[in-house]
Structure 1
Amino acid sequence: MTQHVLITGANRGIGLALTELYLKSGWSVYATCRDITQAPELTALQRIHEHLFVSELDVTDHHAIEQLSQSLKAISFDLLVNNAGYYGPKGYGFGNTDADEWRKVFEINTIAPLKLVEAFYPQLKANQPGVVACLSSKVGSMAENTSGGGYIYRSSKAALNSVVKSLSNDLLPQGIICIALHPGWVQTEMGGPNALIDTQTSAKGLKQVIDSVGEADSGLFMDYQGNYLPW
């Protein structure tokens, strides 16, 4: 039986690499991006893979999320990957935090993943046990924060981890596993050219972790190599 995954932010970086990997593994992939006209690699993939379905979605538009869920209500999803993310401004210091950008980062990194789970919960539950994988970051770990700074992105990922923990408590009784994942320092637009690993390495590791998770892992924070991370 074909498995189904929904991946947000699939037009580039880790999202695109995950899309390619799941397609190669025989899954039906429902990929979203904010602007299809700016997603040439994703649309090129769509032309050669009959099991790739691309939808335009701004994850901060909650009505659009509901509409997408309704349009896909006949699909039972095995996996939801909340990958879409936004770093916000870089290089600012204490005393120079842009509050408007902070709100935007929270909308994308923290609020949107929860709204997506709420919208697609019926489809995930229908294919019990479903898995919700939220791409977080080690910089959201309180224990790992020894350098300060990065107020906007750090706090959005710490808050996302809290969302995942609450989701795990609420949804595990229905058989839905929720995990937070650190993809590593990856060579993407966000990670920059000096990052340690490429998107294919990250995606391969993330998929292996997702494939192996069980109920005991729900609500936990793990990296792409399967190591457990502290909150």
Structure 2
Amino acid sequence: MPTVMVTGASRGIGREFVSQYREAGWNVVATCRDPEGAGYGEGEAYELDVADPVSVKNLAEQLDGEVIDLLINNAGINLAKHTNFGNLDYDAWDEVLWVNVLAPLRVSEIFAPHVERSKRKQIIFLSSIMGSIAENSGGMPIYRSSKAALNQAVRSVAPDLRAKGITTLLIHPGWVQTDMGGPSAAIDAQTSVTAMRETFEALTPSMAGQYVNYDGTPIPW
């Protein structure tokens, strides 16, 4: 039975990943900051604050010896989304960069040995089309810059991970009806996650570090 680890599994896309992979018969390591508050029963999810290095290290030790076939870095935030030049919120910017860029890299670095021991060896990073410089139409500089930085960071470490046999992928989940995406978004979480899972199944080592839509089509950097 393959194992998938999902960060940010309290709601939305993360919760849908947990639901679909469990239904498909996978062993699911669901993680979030407050499993009980998210409605998980005892033993159904692990406590993990991706922005807290101690929390990440503690979970890695708790899962020592666990083989993780697929690591999905889903956790992310979007703060001060309506600020623009002239009223930029630098404290919010710092927090967004920490959670959206540094945290998934740290989680991946600490859990890479767990992934390396598996047969599948895949690490996924949920990015956004808003991280594309080519597609940037302006606005939301905090969130856009965090996803652009994530793209660059993952693209930079992809060869290092590939040397360990680990394949990475940056994926845009689409504009999804979640707390972050809002009720007017184009697709629901079920549609997004179903398509992303199909994309993961088609992932090969030669695709390491690519930046794609939820349906697998490439996004310009």
TM-score, normalising length: structure 1:
0.93
Mapped contact 2:70–2:120 kept (Cα < 8 A): no
* Structure 1 position 85 matched with structure 2 position 76: yes
Q: CA 1:128–1:162 in 2, change beyond 3 Å: closer, same or farther?
A: farther
Alignment deviations for residues 174-226 of structure 1 (CA, whole Å, 9 cap, x no partner): 11001100000000000001100000000101111111100111010011111
Alignment deviations for residues 8-28 of structure 1 (CA, whole Å, 9 cap, x no partner): 000100000011010011100
Mapped contact 1:7–1:19 kept (Cα < 8 A): yes
Q: Displacement of 1:95 after TM fit?
A: 1.2
Other structure's SS at 2:112 match: helix
Alignment deviations for residues 29-79 of structure 1 (CA, whole Å, 9 cap, x no partner): 001111123202xx1xx57xxxx7411111111111011011101111001
The structure whose residues are more often helix, as a share, is: 1
Of residues 127-136 and 179-188 in structure 1, the stretch that sits farther from structure 2 once superposed is 127-136
Indicate the residue corresponding to 1:113 in structure 2. 104
* Structure 1 position 71 matched with structure 2 position 65: no
* Structure 1 position 126 matched with structure 2 position 117: yes
Alignment deviations for residues 89-132 of structure 1 (CA, whole Å, 9 cap, x no partner): 12222211100000110111000000001110111111144100
Alignment deviations for residues 154-182 of structure 1 (CA, whole Å, 9 cap, x no partner): 00000111121122111101110011000
- Note the residue ranges of structure 2 that are not aligned, 5 or more in a row: none
Sequence identity of aligned pairs in percent?
43
Mapped contact 2:81–2:142 kept (Cα < 8 A): no
Q: Give the 4+ runs in structure 1 shifted more than 3 A.
A: none
Letter in 2 for 1:174: K
Indicate the residue corresponding to 1:169 in structure 2. 159
Mapped contact 2:5–2:72 kept (Cα < 8 A): yes
TM-score, normalising length: structure 2:
0.97
Letter in 2 for 1:16: R
Give the Cα–Cα distance (whole angstroms) in 1 for the partners of residues 14 and 104 of structure 2. Answer: 14
Give the Cα–Cα distance (whole angstroms) in 2 for the partners of residues 185 and 93 of structure 1. Answer: 21
Letter in 2 for 1:111: L
Give the Cα–Cα distance (whole angstroms) in 1 for the partners of residues 76 and 210 of structure 2. Answer: 20
Q: CA 1:158–1:143 in 2, change beyond 3 Å: closer, same or farther?
A: same
Mapped contact 1:129–1:175 kept (Cα < 8 A): no
Mapped contact 1:137–1:182 kept (Cα < 8 A): yes
Give the Cα–Cα distance (whole angstroms) in 2 for the partners of residues 116 and 23 of structure 1. Answer: 22
Give the Cα–Cα distance (whole angstroms) in 1 for the partners of residues 10 and 94 of structure 2. Answer: 23
Letter in 1 for 2:15: L
Q: CA RMSD in A?
A: 1.2
Letter in 2 for 1:192: G
Give the Cα–Cα distance (whole angstroms) in 2 for the partners of residues 172 and 129 of structure 1. Answer: 12
Matched length:
221
